[in-house]
Each structure stands twice: as structure tokens, then as C-alpha cells.
Structure 1
């Protein structure tokens, strides 16, 4: 592949070519806004990390002309179940949601990224990589971005605006001096894609509660129908969970029945933070995605919130570059930061509720979940919140 040289100046520099950065680049490219998208990795991720695309995100991606392509490559899952062992505490159905996408779409993140990248390429855009940002400084009504390439050669590009979509450890956020307030959960998380026999239908995502921790099991697309995503809290998880590790988790916490883990396709251990940037904007520097907010994976909200951040931010930037006042960008934080705070609070409640240790509290929680799960208004509200339709 030919290397496309970087210009010395552009309207918008986007740092980070994950789903958030790619979405921003697509919106700018569609509007004809000059931009440069850079990333520190040699190539896009080939592991599936985020695995669910919710209804509101599909609506956003539909506006970019790629929702149908993504749907073709995923599994439509219309049901979310809350379980404690073999007991079903609550069933949330997405089928009646007021959307053209009344389901959770299960699709590995590398597929989502590839679909986004293909769309960007079709619009004439590109990702410049591997480039590591070393300095971001606003001066003389522009932002200077300094970077190094894989051979430690230095370069500089100036821009009217910079979008930091470079993840939780964002260099852009740090350079802008924006705080990242929050904390870290004491337990670690296991993340694994496995091939297995699982006793519940592939039309549901299940959240399993247990004294040992929270466990989420969701189907992923594959021809044999045996690929699943497993996310679980573990006090001290191994760096790369094995077949035996995952099998022990599921046999201890799962619904019982025929559970057989045949292979681990990919696995990892990670720590989870719940943090939100103190501001989404510092002058000509703006944050989106994990650079602006991180939280528990319960509910699968992270990548979705980031894509929605990027779509709004890039739309506002197209207005400013077309001549509208710079103050238009202030609405980005006004709209999106409260949504991130709500998502962090919601996923934190889910995580803490799922991991209570006391038998008395656990029994009370289960009773409350069963009773509330019988109330249609409660079920509908949870479906609406999980789908992120309220973020519009």
C-alpha cells in the first residue's frame, strides 16, 4: 500500500482510528471537510473487544450509509435476560422499541472497524499510521500536533481543531490539561471469545449474577453457531484465560445444563475504570469516546457512546468550518457529557448490584428484580436505556 504523505496543515486532525475516530472522519469526509486521521498502531485492531452495537448507534450509522452492511455481518439479538444461576430474574425485550433496529446487534469490534474503514476509503479518506502524537499545543489560533513515526522521525501538522479519540490514556487529553475524574474497580475483568456449547438460545444476551461476580454471555456471528463473547469479573484474573479458566467461570456462575468450552479464540484480562473528563473541550481541542469517558462493560455502552459522540462532534465541526461561529462547538459538551455521566452511573449501578456478597442482600435484590421485571413500564424503560435511544 502506498504511503500517503501528511500535509503540513488541515482543518481537523483526528487522533485515534478506532470506531470513534473513524466515525468522525466519515462525517467530515462526507461534508468535504479537510481532515487528517492518525493512529499509533501499524494496523487496525484484530480482536473483538466491544461486541454489541445498540439501536441508537445503528440509527447514527444508517445516516452514514453503513448500518445495513454491519447488520448483514452480525447477529440480531432481541432479548436481554438477567439471571441468577438457573433462575431468570427479568427478561428485557427490544422488539417493541420505536426504531428501525429493534434489537442489539452482536458483531465483533474488528468487523465494525472494518466496515467503518471501508466507508471512509470509499469517500476518499485514509488512516495515517503508525504515528505517535507527542505534543498538542494551541498557538496563534491553530493547534500544532507533533508526532513521530515508526523510525522516530519527527513531524508537525497544524490544524484549526483537534479531536482526541485516542482512548483512556489519551495523550490529547493530557496535553490539553483536562482532568479525568473517577476511580478504578477493585476486581479485574476476563474478556474472552470462545467456541462452546451453551444451553440458552442464541437470540439472547444473558447477564448472570453470582456472589463470585458478574458474567455476561453473548452470541457472536459464525457459521457453526458456537462462538460466544464472555465477560466476567474475577478478583485476580489470569493474563490470558484458558479453556479451563472460562469453563470454571461458566460452570460456577452459569445457568447449568450442557456447558462445554471447546476452545478460546482470544482472551485477555483488564482493569475497568469509571471516569469522565472534566471538560470535553479546551479551546480548539475536543475529546470523544474513551478519551472522554470510560466505564464498566455492563450493558455494552462504551463503543456506542463514543460513536455517537463522534457523529455529533464532527457534524458541529462541519458547521463551524462552513462559517458558523466557533461557539457552536460549546453545545457538544452540553449535550454529550451529561449522557456520559448517566452511562457511567447506570453501568456502575449494574456492576455493583450484580456483585453483592451478602446472602440477605442478594435475596432481596433477586426478589426486587423479579417483581420489577413483571412491570411492563420498567421493562420498557430498561430496554430504552440499554438501546441508548434516549441519547438522541
Structure 2
């Protein structure tokens, strides 16, 4: 293998890949970022940034712009229709950002890309990696569109169907939820508050309703078979079945909608030789709790920071330590999201017990505080 052209090749330019690129560029490394999608082709699934994520992004010059753009939501609420089972306030958390920040993935990517550009970096699109090989000195990525790229290390941030993970021969252990998920950004009127991210419990499945900028709401729900493009009538039926009763929510417009399947999987290892995995390439789980993008951004910052130390001469065993820690963290987050999903979709016979237990727990500050720390990511400081 000939001499590397870059210190790090990053495959994937979503929030995770862009974050890693910003960190590495700011630390003075030669970075190549490629993405198989043309600009503007990305859909906007993730919409939640938690306090810990905003904290760890601070050194990299994007937090202020994110905070100015997003909706500051101080409470995570679990409801069974109109009945409040548990309100988890973020207002008392020990952070400068005592709220959930609701912001579209498109905005998050835009601010990260602008920061990367200011640092002198860029994203090459559309570039498709077809094969990866490595030896003791570096990694070689074959491309569908041109000459191979050689780098000292490769960071896979290319999502659940990661070619990097596949080419590295890393298993992706776990399973899939039977239901599909519908996602819609809508304009609403009626009884949904803008100061809460709400997880609605229902025998028919979970529904998450959260405010977004520009007077929109994000709705995510489990259904047996989601339509490719959910219309207002479909989303209205979901809210009628699962949302508030006393002051029903009315769908005025569906701005954008999609569907997806959700898996709960974790890569068998987050490192193989000179290849590291981050974000959905390393772990996927239910959207309950809004953890996915936050965990991926954490992956990116810790992976990039560790790579910088190794590139600077530190022992590359640090990468093994990083991979083991991130995998352990991912296991905890995936388990929490699965528990919330199981609670949300409990059968009708189990609902009274579930509601009673959650209602009692919701009256105690320790239970609310523990959940706030878990959801906010501040327990991972």
C-alpha cells in the first residue's frame, strides 16, 4: 500500500461524520470526508439535541448557533392520553442547557458543515466506497467514482447499512421491531403543548410528539405498516388514537413525512485494525428517548479526539480503550430505549399496573432526577 493521502478518511457526512471532521480539522489533521448522497438528498430524521451533547460541542464552535435556532423544551413527559404519568423536568439539571433542544437534522448538519468549511475542510459528494482493505500502515478505500483514497485511519459514519462495517467484517448483533415507524413534520392546532417533548403510551403503539422551529411539530409513531408518504388524514388518525382527548390535536398540514424500520443492534466491536465505527454504523435503537444522534455525536468527538492523540504519537491501544468504552455506553442507551419502547407498547391488560407504577415513581424527585440525567446524557460526563 502506498503512502497515505490523509490522516483520516471519514465515510459518511451526516451529523456524526461532520462532527468528527470538525474535531480533526480543528486539531490540525488532514481529513477527507466522502458521502454517497448528493447534497440535499438527506432526509431529516433526528431532531433532538440533549444538554450533554450541547456541552461537548462547545469547543468546536457550533453550540451557540444550534441553541439560537432550536426550540428549548424544558420537560420530557410520559402520558397516557390526557393522563400525565411522569413529567421529567430538565430545568434543575446542572448545565448551561437545562432543556431538550429540538432542531431538525438538516439544520444541525448545516451548522456543522459551515464550521467545517470555515476550518478549511469539505465534503466530497457523491462518492461511493465499494471496498476497503488495510495493512499495518494504513487503509485503502476503493471508490465507484474515481481513484482510491489512502489514509492512516478510516472512520465509518455511514449509517445502519454501513459498507465500512461490512467490509471490516464486523457483525451487527441484535434484532428488529415488528412494527414500522412513521415520521412526520406537521403544523398542529389544539392541545399539544410546545414546552414538552411527549411520549404517548397507547395499546396501539407509541407516539412521540415534540415541537420544532418554524411552528412545526415532529411526530414519530409505531404502526403495523407505515405509508411511504403519510398524509394529514393518516397522521390525524394516529393522534386521534393516541394523543390528547380533552383538547384534541388537529393536523393542519404535513410538511414532510417518511417511514422507516427500527432495529436494536450493536456492532460486535467498534474497532478493527485501522477502522473505527461511529453512530448508526455502530448502534441503532428505538427513537424513544431521542438518544440516537446524541450518542453518535459523542462517538464522533471521542473517536476523533482519541485518533488525534494516536496520530500525534500515542499508543494505538488507546483506540481499543475508546472502542470498548463506547460499546459499553451504547449497550446502556440501547437498553434504555428498548425499555421505554416496551413500556409504551404494553398490552391492554398490563396498562393499569404500568400506569400506577409510573405515576407513583413520577411523584418522587429521585426517580425523575435519575431519568433526567439519563435522558440528558449528563450521567455520561
TM-score bracket, normalised by the shorter chain, equals: over 0.9
CA drift of 1:138 comes to: 0.6
Q: Does 1:380 align with 2:369?
A: yes
Which ranges in structure 2 are unaligned for 5 or more consecutive residues? none
CA contact (8 A) 1:39 1:129 kept: yes
3-state SS, counterpart of residue 106 of structure 2: helix
Q: Select the residue among 145, 157, 166 that pairs with 1:174.
A: 166
Q: Deviations over 1:29-57 (max 9, x none)?
A: 00111110000011145532101100110
- TM-score where L is the length of structure 1: 0.95
Q: CA deviation at 1:329?
A: 1.1
| Whole-angstrom distance in 2 between the partners of 1:326 and 1:8 | 17
Give the alignment partner of residue 185 of structure 1, picking from 177, 186, 193. Answer: 177
Q: How does 1:235-314 map to 2 (within 5 A)?
A: 235-256=224-245, 257-314=247-304
Counterparts of 2:61 and 2:315, CA distance in 1: 29
Residue number among 124, 139, 142 corresponding to 1:128 in the alignment: 124
State the SS of the aligned residue for 2:209.
Answer: strand
Offset, 1:65: 1.6
1:198: how far off?
A: 3.6
Q: 2:346 matched to 1:350?
A: no
What is the alpha-carbon distance in structure 1 between the residues aligned to residue 331 and residue 375 of structure 2?
Answer: 15
Deviations 1:45-79 (A, max 9, x none): 55321011001100011121211110100000001
Structure 2 distance, partners of 1:44, 1:8, is: 30
The answer on 1:15 being equivalent to 2:7 is no
Give CA deviations for 1:68-122 in whole Å, capped at 9, x if unaligned. 1101000000011110011111110001111111100000000000000000001
2:148 aligned counterpart, secondary structure = strand
CA drift at 1:8: 6.7
Deviation at 1:201, TM superposition (A): 2.1
2:69 paired residue number: 73
Quote the offset at 1:140 in angstroms.
4.6
CA distance in 1, matches of 2:227, 2:15: 28
Task: Choose from 34, 37, 48 the match for 1:38.
Answer: 34
- Give the distance between the partners of 1:391 and 1:156, measured in 2 at CA: 38
Q: Distance in 2 between matches of 1:17 and 1:370?
A: 42
Q: How does 1:198-217 map to 2 (within 5 A)?
A: 198-217=190-209
Q: 2:359 aligns with which of 363, 370, 376?
A: 370
**What are the superposed Cα offsets for residues 207-252 of structure 1, whole Å, 9 maximum, x if unpaired?**
1001100000000011xx3x10000000112121110000010011
Aligned pair in 2 of structure 1 residues 253, 55: CA closer, same or farther (>3 Å)?
same
Q: Give 1:330-345 correspondences, 5 Å limit.
A: 330-345=320-335
TM score, norm. by length of structure 2 = 0.97
Out of 205, 208, 219, the residue aligned to residue 211 of structure 2 is 219
Correspondence 1:62 to 2:58 = yes
State the distance in 1 between where 2:353 and 2:327 align: 33
CA offset at residue 174 of structure 1? 0.3
Match of 2:234, SS?
helix
CA RMSD of aligned residues (A): 1.2
Deviation at 1:202, TM superposition (A): 0.7
Matched residues in 1 for 2:190 and 2:75: separation? 16
The reply on whether 1:118 has 2:110 as its aligned counterpart is: no
**Matches for 1:313-332 after TM superposition, within 5 Å:** 313-332=303-322
- Could you tell me which residue of structure 1 aligns to residue 82 of structure 2? 86
Matched-pair contact (CA < 8 Å) for 1:47–1:266: no
3-state DSSP class of the match of 1:269? Answer: strand
Cα displacement string for residues 243-296 of structure 1 (whole angstroms, at most 9, x for unaligned residues): 000001001111121421111111111110000000000000000000000000
- The number of residues matched between the two structures is 378
Q: Secondary structure at the match of 2:323?
A: helix
